Amino acid sequence: RTSTRKCLASVACQLEVCRGCVGNNYLKMLSLRLRLLSAASSLTTRALSSGPSASQGKSPDMKEGHSHLLLTDVRNRLREIVGASTNWSDHRKAMQERASLSSQLASSQEDLPVRTMKDSLIEVLLPLGSQPTLREKYLTMHNSVRFGRILEDLDSLAVLICYTHTKTDTLGRSPLSIVTALVDKIDMRKNIIYPDCDIKFTGHVTWVGKTSIEAKMHVTQLHDGAFSPVLDATFVMVARDPENKRAAFVNPLKPEGPEEERLFQQGEINKTRRVELSTASLLKVAPTAEERKIVHSQFLSTLDSKSVACHTHTLTGLLCQGYFSGGRPWAWSGPLSCRDCESFNPLPFTIWRPS
C-alpha cells in the first residue's frame, strides 16, 4: 500500500507539471493510469482490513474487551524484572545496582524451591487483526508477516518464561541474567502466516539442568473462527550472574503427570543429542576411518578413467567449500567441471560430515 500511495503521488505530480505543456491525449492517458492505481490501492486496503478474514481474524478476547497479556507487556515486564531502562544514564545506574544482587544467588540448586511446568505457563497475544498500527510493524513489502519479528517475539517470550520459572516473591528484581544459548528446534506447521489475524504464543519450561533451561513454545493463529497451529519452537536458555560473568543455578523442575514426564524425558534426550553433536564436531574430532573412506570414494567417483588431469574431473554429488586464489570463498555440490574454475585453489576445503 505504501508503494501504491507513492505511485499515486507521482502520477498526480506528473499531471500538475504536464497540464500546461502537453496535449489532451497524454493527459487522458495519465488520468486513466491514476484511476487504475486508485482502484488497486482501495482493493489492497479492503483485502487487509475488511472482508471475512479481517472480521474473523480478531481474537474473541479482544472483541469482548477482556484483558490479555500482549507482546508489548512481555518486554515491559522484562525491563521491570531486570531493572533495565531505555535511557542510557538510567541504564548505567541500573547495571551498577544489579552488580550488588550477586549476594542473592543460590550457592546450590538444592537451596532453591522446586517448580512445576504450570508455574511458568504463559499465554501472549499478538493482535495483528485488531490493531492496524501494530500490524504495520510486522508487514513486509509483499503484505506478508516478517518472520524475523516472530523469532524476536519468541526469544523475548522464552526469556520471560525462564524468569517466571526462577522468580522469587521476596525479591523485587531477579539476580539472574537469562541468556539465549541456542534455538534447538523450530517445526513449521503452516506455510503461511496471515498478516491480519491475531496470533497467540503459548509456552512453558519443559526441562531444567543445573544452570540451563529448555522452553517450548507453540504459535497459533486465529483463522476461520478457530486457532490453528503455525509453529512449535524449542529454545535453550542459560542462567548467568547479574554481571554475566559466570553460571548461576536455577530452580529444579518436577514434572506432574504422564504428559509432563514425556516432555521432561524428551528434554533429557535433546540434551544428550546436543552433547553428542558437540563432541563429534569436526572442529574437535578428526574424521573417522569410515568417513575418510566415504570422502575417498566420492573423490574417485569424480575422476575420468582415461585421464587423471585436473581439468577432466567432474565433481558430482560432493558437497565442498574452499577458497579462490584471491581468498574469496566458493562452494559447490555438483555437477561442476574443474575447467569451469580456472583460478581457484582447492585447499583449504571443508567437506561436510554426512548425516
Average pLDDT score over residue span 333-355: 44
Q: What is the pLDDT of residue 270?
A: 94
Residue with the bigger pLDDT between 147 and 47: it is: 147
- The overall average pLDDT reported for the chain is 76
Terminal CA-to-CA distance of the chain, rounded, Å?
45
Using 50, 70 and 90 to split pLDDT, how confident is the model at 112? Answer: very high
Is the pLDDT at 11 greater than 70? The verdict is no
Which residues, other chains included, contact 220 with Cβ-Cβ below 8 Å and sequence gap of 6+?
Answer: 199, 200, 202, 227, 228, 229, 230
* Residue 30 Cα distances to 44, 168, 194, 276, angstroms: 21, 67, 35, 66
Number of H helices, E strands in the chain: 10, 10
pLDDT digits (tens, 9 = 90+) for 144-167: 899 999 999 999 999 999 999 999
β-bridge partners, 180: 237
Using 50, 70 and 90 to split pLDDT, how confident is the model at 181? Answer: very high
Tell me how crowded residue 291 is: count the other CB atoms within 10 A of its CB.
14
pTM (2 d.p.): 0.67
**With helix as H, strand as E and coil as C, how does the chain read?**
CHHHHHHHHHHHHHHHHHCCCCCHHHHHHHHHHHHHHHHHHHHHHHHHHCHHHHHHCCCHHHHCCCCCCEHHHHHHHHHHHHCCCCCHHHHHHHHHHHHHHHHHCCCCHHHCCCECHHHHCEEEEECCCCCHHHHHHHECCCCCECHHHHHHHHHHHHHHHHHHHCCCCCCCCCCCEEEEEEEEEEEECCCCCCCCCCEEEEEEEEEECCCEEEEEEEEEEEECCEEEEEEEEEEEEEEECCCCCCECCCCCECCCHHHHHHHHHHHHHHHHHHHHHHHCCCCCCCCCHHHHHHHHHHHHHCCECCECCHHHCEECCCCEEEEECCCCEEEECCCEEHHHCCCEEEEEEEECCCC
Residue with the bigger pLDDT between 248 and 38: it is: 248
Q: What is the pLDDT of residue 39?
A: 46
Is the pLDDT at 253 greater than 90? The verdict is yes
